[in-house]
Amino acid sequence: MKIAGNIACPICSLSDNEFFLSGRDYLSSYTRRFTLVKCAGCGLIYLNPQKELEDAQALYRPDYYRSVKKVSRILEALFLQERKGIVEGSGKSSGTMLDIGCGTGEFLKIMKAGGWETAGVDPSEERNKRSTDDNKIYSADLMEIKFGEQSFDVITLWQVLEHLPDPDRYLAETHRLLKKDGILVLSVPNINSLQARLSGARWFNLDLPRHRWQFTPETLQKMLDKTAFRLKEIKHFSLEYNPFGWWQSILNLLGCEMNFAYKFLKRGVVQKGGSPAARFYTILCTVLLGVPLLLPAFVLSFIESALSRGGIVTVIAQRRPEEG
Ligand SMILES: [Zn+2]
């Protein structure tokens, strides 16, 4: 008999798992802990149970996505160029593309300007209200849209898969939507990265309970295998994510309030925390160490990348030829 709320592994369907780690939601003042388990069959690490996640609205408050316009406009442009470079470095330089979890469509705009025919999907209505280029951004779940078979040359999922209740179904759908020689580009946090292993429950990218699946390159490959994709390339360096992941994780490890700087940079405001002393310590640490920690964060990102242990990994995969 299955325990209520116990989730079976989406890769191998086993419900047999062991405790891996527990942590709190850094966006919430609740003290409850969320548990990650490791599948006894394939090693996938995932949030279990996931019953509480039904109230998705509470987890994805509109400001979860807000990006700071003034502070990060230049950085954002740089990061979008990095993404474009990854897509175009995969051997496709034009055609049709779909960005799943496209937010306000910033990446689509860059690609469209580069000659791509673009479409985006994002179920958050709030974000679509902010979108200035709303043609071909679908405010719906991918599964509801029913794009035609083999519609796209490229499909991208930037930090999306780890959020989805049923990632294997989504991958199967992207397989259906991709042209025969189409390319899937996706990035996910790597729980086997150096920054993850060093930081434990203080890791910036843990993001409990929003990240349901904590992949490693091995388990991601297993899920791609299951959904008939062939792994073409895996990148362990991400300018967009990895230096910042180190930087924030180190501050977390020094005892700062969890992801305080990130919340401040992303949202421009942070809610009241615990004690005034803890808040004072966090601000002091961030102000004094913020700049000196930049260099180590970059160096560590290069080291983990050289060791194939990147904090965020980006995978390029192709449809496997149909069997039989
Ligand atoms: Zn499994």
pLDDT tens for 128-185 read 555 555 558 888 889 889 899 999 999 999 999 999 999 999 999 999 999 999 999 9
In 68-77, which positions are buried (b, 16+ CB within 10 angstroms) versus exposed (e)?
Answer: eeeeeeeeee
pLDDT of the residue at 168: 94
* Alpha helices, DSSP H, located in the chain: 56-59, 69-89, 106-113, 125-130, 142-145, 167-177, 194-199, 217-226, 242-253, 260-267, 276-289, 294-306
Ligand 1 mean position to 149 CA, how many Å? 29
- Under DSSP, the state recorded for 64 is G
Q: How far is the CA of 11 from the centre of ligand 1 (A)?
A: 5
Rg (CA), the chain: 19
The DSSP letter of residue 81 is: H
Q: Which of 183, 110, 121 is nearest to 147 (CA)?
A: 121
Ligand 1 center–CA 214 separation, angstroms? 12
Taking the model in full, what pTM does it have? 0.89
Task: Output the CA 227–ligand 1 centroid distance in Å.
Answer: 14
The whole-number average pLDDT for the span 95-110 is 93
Contact 300, 246 (CB under 8 A): yes
Q: Does the pLDDT at position 120 exceed 60?
A: yes
Cα of 291 vs centre of ligand 1, distance in Å, is 41
Residue 134 Cα, ligand 1 centroid: separation in angstroms? 39
| Helices and strands, number each (H, E), in the chain | 12, 11
- Ligand 1 centroid to Cα of residue 41, in Å, is 5
Q: In a 10 Å sphere around its CB, with 0-12 CB exposed, 13-18 middle and 19+ buried, how is residue 43 labelled?
A: middle
Measuring CA to CA, which residue among 9, 79, 60, 4 is closest to residue 219?
A: 9
Q: What is the token pair recorded at 60?
A: 């994805």
CA distances from 186 to 76, 217, 255 (A): 18, 12, 32
Residue 127: the pLDDT is: 53
Q: Are 189 and 196 in contact (CB under 8 A)?
A: yes
Ligand 1: centre distance to CA 52 (Å) = 21
Q: Residue 68 has which token pair?
A: 């700071």
Q: How far is the CA of 39 from the centre of ligand 1 (A)?
A: 5
Centre of ligand 1 to C-alpha 104, Å, is 34
CA of 168 to the centre of ligand 1 (A): 12
- pLDDT tens per residue across span 241-250: 999 999 999 9
Torsion of CA 149, 151, 154, 160, to 10 degrees: -60
- Does 6 have pLDDT greater than 70? yes
**Distance, CA 209 to ligand 1 centroid (Å)?**
19
Amino acid identity of residue 46, one-letter, is Y
Distance 167 CA to ligand 1 centre (A): 13
CA of 17 to the centre of ligand 1 (A): 8
C-alpha to C-alpha distances, 49 to 2, 107, 216, nearest whole angstrom: 12, 33, 20
Query: Can you tell me the distance from the alpha carbon of 63 to that of 119, in angstroms, rounded to the nearest whole number?
Result: 24
| Amino acid type, 184 | L
Q: How far does residue 6's CA lie from ligand 1's centre (Å)? A: 13
Q: Which residues 6+ apart lie within 8 Å of 152 measured at CB? A: 95, 96, 97, 98, 119, 177, 178, 179, 182
Question: How far apart are alpha carbons 173 and 111 in whole angstroms?
Answer: 22
C-alpha of residue 245 to centroid of ligand 1, in Å? 27
Q: Determine the distance separating the centroid of ligand 1 and the alpha carbon of 10, expressed in angstroms.
A: 7
Report how far ligand 1's centroid is from the alpha carbon of 191 (Å): 15
pLDDT beyond 50 at 2 = no
What span, in angstroms and rounded, lies between the C-alpha atoms of 159 and 188?
A: 5
CATH 3.90.1330.10, applies to 70-239+314-319 = no
CA of 38 to the centre of ligand 1 (A): 8
Per-residue pLDDT of 17-30, as tens digits, reads 999 999 988 887 77
The CA 40 to ligand 1 mean position distance, Å, reads 6
What is the CA(213)–ligand 1 centre distance, in A?
11
